[in-house]
Amino acid sequence: MKSVTERFLRYVSIDTQSMEDQDCYPSTAKQLVLADLLVQELQELGASNVRQDEYGYVMAEIPATTDKEMPVLGFLAHMDTAPACSGTDVRPQIIRNYDGGTILLHPDQRIGMSPKEFPELTDYKGQDLIVTDGTTLLGADDKAGIAEIMTFIEYLLQHPQLPHGTICVAFTPDEEVGRGTDFFDVKSFGAEVAYTVDGGTLGELEYETFNAAGAKVTIHGVSIHPGSAKWKMKNALLIGMELHQMLPVFENPACTEGYEGFYHLDDMCGGVEQARLKYIIRDHDREKFRQKKELMKEAVGYLNRKYGDGTIELDMQDSYYNMQEKIEPYFYLITVAEDAMKELGITPIITPIRGGTDGARLSYEGLPCPNLCTGGHNFHGRFEYISIQSMERIVELLVKITEKFYLL
C-alpha cells in the first residue's frame, strides 16, 4: 500500500496552476496531466465506474460491502493550485523530527520560515514537515486532499470486510479561480451527501462559508500631455485610487478575522487612459454582503456623476453563498465528523471558512457538502507546509467517518 506521503510528493511534482479569465475549461490543460494520472491510479486500485469527462472531472466509486440502506457518501478534492504563486518546478523538502526552530528553505537566497512569523509551527515540534524551497507554493491545497482520499480508497479496497455503503469520489479542476463546479454533474456523481477535503489544520471542520462576489472595475480616463492637462486630463489611476478610498479602510483582509467580511483589492493595472481594478467581496452575513455590494455600486455611481457618465464600468457577479443554510438540515454530517475526530483523539475545530470551497456551490446544487481538514498551512504561498503525521491522521479520519456512516 502506498503511503499518503508518496502520493502527495508525486502529485505536487505536476504543475496544475489554474488561470483567471480563460475561455476554456479547465483553464489550463496541464491540470489534465494530473487528471489522467488519477484515472490510471483509480483503475489500478480497482475502483469502479472510473471516468473522466470532457471538462476534466475525475469520478469513481467504491462499491458497497453491505446491503444495508444508507446515504451514498462522497468525498471531493480539487486538482488545481492557486494563481497567486508559482506552481512550476515545485521542490518539496521533508524536515524530519522538526526541532521547533527556523527552517532554512533556500540557503542560497537566504529564505527561512520562522516560528516568530508563523507561531503555529511550534505545534509541530517532533513531527515531520513537508515544506517548499521558498520559491514556489507547495500544492497542499489541495493535493494533500487528493492524496488522503486516494490512500483512503486503497485502504477500503484492501479491507472489504469493513462494512460501508457506496462511496463516490471526485477530483475537480479550477476551484482556485472560482469555477470548480461550473460543469460538475451532481446526478452523475451519485452521492447524496459529501465532504470536500480542502481545509487546513488537523481537526478543522467547516460548514459556514462567506457569501462571495467578484467585482471588475474598468475606468476610462483622458490622457493629455501633462504640460497642458489642466482641467482636461482624467487620470484613470487616480480615479481608481479615489474609488478605493471610498471603501471602509478596516474592511480589508489584513484587518479582519472570524465572521468579519471585507473588500479585497486583488489586482490593479493600467495607466492614465484606462485602469482596471479587481475586487473580491466577502461576508458571512447575507444582509451585510448585500450592503457591501450596494456600497460598491454607490461609489461607482458617485464617481460617474463626478467625472461623467461611463467613466467607470462595474461588472459585479456573485460567486457562491454561505452553505450553512443548506447544511443545517443535514447536520448529522457535522455530528458524524465531529464524533469520528473525538474517537481518534483529534480535537474538532469548528470554524467558519474565510474563503470558499467547491462544497459551497455544490450545497446549493443539491449536494450538502461541508469541509474537512487536510493538515496544511499557509496555502497559496511559498511558506506553505504540511505535517506528514496530520495527513496520516486524516486518512484515518476518512475511514472512521465511513465506519460511522454504516451505524447511522
Lowest mean pLDDT among 70-74, 92-96, 101-105, 354-358: 354-358
pLDDT of residue 355: 78
pLDDT of residue 116: 95
Q: The cell 502506498 sits on which residue? A: 2
**Mean pLDDT throughout 94-108?**
97
Do residues 377 and 131 lie in contact, with contact meaning Cβ atoms separated by under 8 Å? no
**Mean pLDDT throughout 82-96?**
96
Residue 141, Ramachandran bin (φ over 0: left; ψ between -120 and 50: alpha; else beta): beta
By the 10 Å C-beta count (0-12 exposed, 13-18 middle, 19+ buried), 267 is classed as: exposed
pLDDT of residue 330: 97
pTM: 0.90
The CATH architecture of the domain made up of 4-209+322-406 is: 3-Layer(aba) Sandwich (3.40)
Residue 277's pLDDT band (boundaries 50, 70, 90)?
very high
Residue 99's pLDDT band (boundaries 50, 70, 90)?
very high
**Topology adopted by domain 211-320:** Alpha-Beta Plaits (3.30.70)
Q: Spell out a b/e string for 337-376, using b for 16 or more CB atoms within 10 Å of the CB, else e.
A: bebbbeeeebebeebebbbbbbbbbbbbeebbbbbbbbbb
CA pair distance 329, 333, nearest whole angstrom: 10
**Mean pLDDT throughout 216-226?**
96
- With a cut of 90, say whether residue 408 has pLDDT above it: no
Q: Three-state DSSP class for 293?
A: helix
- The catalytically annotated residue of 15, 133, 175, 192 is 175
**Mean pLDDT throughout 56-71?**
96
- With a cut of 90, say whether residue 353 has pLDDT above it: no
- With a cut of 90, say whether residue 1 has pLDDT above it: no
pLDDT of residue 354: 87
CA pair distance 408, 403, nearest whole angstrom: 9
Written as one string, the DSSP assignment of 127-165 is S-EEE--SSS---HHHHHHHHHHHHHHHHHHH-TTS---
**Mean pLDDT throughout 334-356?**
94
pLDDT of residue 228: 95
pLDDT of residue 202: 98
**Mean pLDDT throughout 108-131?**
96
Q: The cell 459551497 sits on which residue? A: 360
80 is catalytic: yes
- With a cut of 90, say whether residue 356 has pLDDT above it: no
Extents of the domains making up the chain: 4-209+322-406, 211-320
Task: Work out the mean pLDDT of the chain and round it to a whole number.
Answer: 96
Do residues 284 and 233 lie in contact, with contact meaning Cβ atoms separated by under 8 Å? no
**Mean pLDDT throughout 113-136?**
97
- The catalytically annotated residue of 15, 41, 80, 283 is 80
**Mean pLDDT throughout 301-314?**
97
CA pair distance 348, 341, nearest whole angstrom: 6
**Mean pLDDT throughout 376-385?**
96
Lowest mean pLDDT among 52-56, 239-243, 350-354: 350-354
6 is catalytic: no
